[in-house]
Chains A and B, each alone.
Chain A
Amino acid sequence: MTNTRLPVAGTSPSRLLEIENLSVHFSRSGKLMRAVDGVSLHVAAGETLGLVGESGSGKTTIGRALLRLLPEANTQWQGSIRYQGTDLASLSRAGMRGMRGRMQMIFQDPVSSFNPRRRIEDIVAEGLVIQGVPKAERRTRVEAALADVGFALADVAGRKPHQFSGGQCQRIAIARALAVQPDLIVCDEPVASLDVSVQAHVINLLQDIREARRLAMIFISHDLAVVKNVSDRVAVLYMGKVVEMGSGEQIYDRPAHPYTRKLLEAVPVVDASRKLRPAADQQAIPSRIRPPSGCAFRTRCPRAVARCGEEEPILTPAPRGQMVACHFPHDETAPFSTARQA
């Protein structure tokens, strides 16, 4: 894979997390599946990186790999994950435990991310207990974390997860992550299962916390509008590879990769002024076990030519500053872009 440590516009030099050449392979009944294939990413302190891509593109796998939460059976992974100067990939299990408090994860399903048999205050305090925080301090920190997400300790004391709604559970999950005072939170589709009116709460809450604590986030979602709202930079994944990466404006206003364009076109927009013309075309999604030669997107790409099948495109800077892995990147504003109308 190529080195992507070329400067990208809009990045700060203080990199909190730097992933290089991360690959994760799962073997399923003898077949090797490259869930993540040579991904390099970085996140600066206080910055939010959005990860988008269709189902199965490897978003969750990257998030879990960062926190070393991948299953151990049938999994191989390699690459370097430098976090605050430490290479997580080379740490032992015990060494990794020492780093745990500094990065946290929020899961998609708010209900299953809690042990149904434990009480909320114990759940939120769990990380502190593990870190050996004394009891008195634990209580104040749990209270503070709950207060950050809009709960008083008295509201939740003695109650179990099933007594809370999805949105409330997601707020408690955020409190649990905040209680250990991490510098980075990986949010894996944190609002996907919430209703619109509740989703807005959680997004705003994450934004407030991000500002107040200078928290870095990796925000995984397939809702591109949500990602646009929360992210400073966005990385687009296709079949385990980053195909485009850049600032929010670059990606959303001048997407260079045909796949990014396809994704953006597919976003349902609340625009009822005209009736949509349904498109008739559709292409099969290629197999993950035997990916196409050359560019993995070529089976669905309207621009594909012979060269795309022979030579794999590598991430290179596009004219507009973002990084793109395509032989023939677009250089015009997106036809659906709203920048055009403004």
Chain B
Amino acid sequence: MSEDLPILACRDMSCQISARPKALDVLQNIDFTVARHTALGIVGESGAGKSMLVKSIMGIAPASVRVNGQIMLDGQDLFAMKPRDRARFIGRKVGIVFQNPMTSLNPYVPVGRQIAEACRQHFDVPRDEARQRAIELLRTVGIADPEDCYDYYPHHFSGGMKQRIMIAASLICHPDLLIADEATTALDVTVQKEVLDLLQTIQEQRQMSMILVSHNLGVVAGRTDEILVLYGGHVVEYGPTSEVFRNPRHRYTEALLSAMPHMDQPTHTRLRTIAGQPPSLANKPAGCPFAPRCGAAEGPCHTTMPDMRTGTDSRHRFACHFPLEQTVGPAVVSGATDRGARAQ
């Protein structure tokens, strides 16, 4: 495994759910890479397919889902492996933290033991050493008095603490990639910030890669290197985070950014809204998934799916027939200010 090889590469991946009367496409034409030591943000509305994407990568999509395409993890083609090997391989390379800390931990087993047990499953280490490792991990994620906390049950911890414990558990195998699927959505602002800070610190210290999944653009804004915007199961925009936020090219990304209330808008500012609803799986539009809600939609938008194209920065890609102008300008202090001014 060479260092310049991306840790994760999805090539033309798609997911289908078998259903009556016809199969439903949850994800289509997903193409992205996560380079080593970088963080990727995946954003999209509820139902956009974020969790499905993560689960497909982890090989834990529900049985009714068929995953096609190619997923390369650390240079290895996952679908070329035997299922058993694949599960082990993924388990070693990738750590994952889910949204709901309450259901992810077994309520009847002390948290430390849960981590230690997982440790023993992956590495054939004696009980004592597993315990030491678990305590070490708990310390890493900022749990005070890890020796005592080792024997506490999940209900002794607050939501934020449980999420820290989940992060500790995901670090057992020294993964190269850490995935956080809405890991902070259930937490309140101050705790959310602490957990995000922790994730970022760990990612940087341990030289890992990270995928940060969220429906909140603010969560990924300052913490990722690249960002992938999902809409209706399609990648609509993908590029360096600062580029995408400063100069969104896809109409949906732009609409989403200006629909958010910003801290620097005066009170009672009217927000820009996006008409209509996200597409349902059962009747997806034929062309651009955003066409029914897009103000700029014209003929081709309703009939043909736009191809990915590249902006002036070749890393910034977007799938729109009529993309927004590239506004070449100096880097602004705050992307938000810029946008707030334009929305008015």
A residues with CB within 8 A of B: 54-55, 165, 167, 195-201, 203-204, 207, 222-226, 228-232, 248-249, 252, 262-276, 278-280, 282, 284-285, 338-339, 341-342
Contact = CB atoms under 8 A, between A and B. Distances in A.
12 contacts: A195-B46, A195-B215, A197-B273, A203-B271, A228-B263, A267-B189, A268-B218, A268-B221, A269-B263, A270-B260, A273-B242, A273-B246
Contacts of B273: 197, 200-201, 204
A135 to B, nearest CB: 33
B279 to A, nearest CB: 12
Given A230-B268, A268-B219, A54 B277 contact: no
B230 to A, nearest CB: 13
B277 A224 contact: no
Contacts of B192: 266, 268
Residue among A197, A226, A231, A284 with max Cβ neighbours from chain B (10 Å): A197
The 6 closest A-B pairs by CB, nearest first: A268-B218, A338-B264, A278-B197, A276-B222, A266-B193, A272-B245
Contact of A248 (B219, B223, B257, B267): B267
Interface string B31-49: 0000000000000011000
B261 A229 contact: yes
A285 B194 CA distance: 12
Contacts of A270: 217-218, 221, 245, 257, 260, 262, 335-336, 339
Nearest to A252: B263
Interface string B205-224: 00000000001111101110
B91 interface: no
B188 interface: yes
B270 A207 contact: yes
B265 interface: yes
Identify which of B244, B245, B265, B267 gathers the most chain A CB atoms within 10 Å of its CB.
Answer: B267
A196 B22 CA distance: 30
B285 interface: no
Q: Which of A262, A266, A339 has the most chain B CB within a 10 Å cutoff? A: A266
Nearest to A53: B188
A341 B335 contact: no
Interface of B: 45-46, 142, 144, 158-159, 187-194, 196-198, 200-201, 204, 215-219, 221-223, 227, 241-242, 244-246, 255-257, 259-265, 267-274, 277-278, 331-337, 339
B263 A267 contact: yes
Contacts of B218: 267-270
B189 A197 contact: no
Given A196-B215, A204-B271, A279-B193, 15 more contacts: A196-B259, A197-B256, A197-B259, A200-B272, A207-B270, A222-B189, A228-B261, A229-B261, A248-B267, A268-B196, A269-B262, A270-B339, A272-B227, A339-B264, A341-B337
Contacts of B215: 195-196
Contact of A225 (B241, B260, B335): B260
B335 A272 contact: yes
Most buried by B among A229, A262, A264: A229
B316 to A, nearest CB: 13
A268 B204 CA distance: 20
B197 A196 contact: no
A282 B142 contact: yes
B269 to A, nearest CB: 6
Nearest to B48: A195
Nearest to A339: B264
Nearest to B268: A207
A225 B277 contact: no
B256 A284 contact: no
B267 A196 contact: no
